Chain A
């Protein structure tokens, strides 16, 4: 089954404790992206990747890191999480960088930072 898989689904952590949210897609998509969803703000892009070893900042990259060493994986790293990073996070992919091809989303990771 074609899918985007994120882990974990739920994560509670404390300020400053490094964490990684994994994302994997099995559709051989070139483009992958991370979003955070906050009430009333919709989805805001954190980072995106056009292909292996090619990553770029989105609208809200501060406090986050990503890497794209393999085509299928695009982990999101929070080196020192803070409470304002409490949010619902989505990984998404699409076949190419062209915006007219639809995004495929994972089921989300709900992160709470205390």
Chain B
């Protein structure tokens, strides 16, 4: 069975500072990996996805994530945090040729002025 672990349920960063959200997964086969963002009172929106092409994936709003097979990780970064980045972020993993997506527990990001 696949699983996803997000380290840290809450992260606080200063505006302009680096945002780093950690995601580790377990999967018996090469996975598809996703990051979704949830703004207050909204559903989840896709930030970016990895589907076995380039290991460094660029997403919307300046976010990017790097797939590291040896570390089974897919950490999300943004060089400079903006107030509008305050949201909850979810990492998710799915098996190629499968239909099930497994979500991590989420990381809530607070951006301080």
Q: A3 → chain B, closest Cβ, in Å?
A: 10
CB under 8 Å from chain B, chain A span 40-80? 40-45, 48, 50, 58
Contacts of B26 in A (CB 8 A): none
User: Which one of B32, B44, B46, B106 contacts A90 once the chains associate, using CB atoms below 8 Å?
Assistant: B44
User: Would you call A40 and B105 a contact (CB within 8 A)?
Assistant: yes
Contacts of A43 in B (CB 8 A): 44, 90, 103
Residue of A nearest to B42 (CB): A107
- Tell me, yes or no, whether A98 is within 8 Å of chain B by CB: yes
User: Which one of B36, B95, B105, B106 contacts A99 once the chains associate, using CB atoms below 8 Å?
Assistant: B95
Number of interface residues of A (CB under 8 A): 24
Residue of B nearest to A56 (CB): B99
Most buried by A among B4, B6, B51, B101: B101
- Kindly supply a per-residue 1/0 record for chain A positions 84-103, scoring 1 wherever the CB is within 8 Å of any chain B CB and 0 otherwise: 00000010100001111011
Contacts of B4 in A (CB 8 A): 42
User: Would you call A103 and B101 a contact (CB within 8 A)?
Assistant: yes
- Tell me, yes or no, whether B9 is within 8 Å of chain A by CB: yes
- Tell me, yes or no, whether B12 is within 8 Å of chain A by CB: no
- Tell me, yes or no, whether A21 is within 8 Å of chain B by CB: no
- Tell me, yes or no, whether B100 is within 8 Å of chain A by CB: yes
Contacts of A41 in B (CB 8 A): 105
User: Would you call B90 and A99 a contact (CB within 8 A)?
Assistant: no
Chain B residues proximal to chain A, CB less than 8 Å: 4, 6, 9, 32, 34, 36, 41-46, 49, 51, 90, 94-101, 103-106
A-B contact pairs, 17 of them (CB 8 A): A4-B43, A35-B103, A43-B90, A43-B103, A45-B100, A97-B99, A98-B99, A99-B32, A99-B99, A100-B49, A100-B51, A100-B94, A102-B34, A102-B49, A103-B36, A105-B45, A107-B43
Chain A residues proximal to chain B, CB less than 8 Å: 4, 31, 35, 40-45, 48, 50, 58, 90, 92, 97-100, 102-103, 105-108
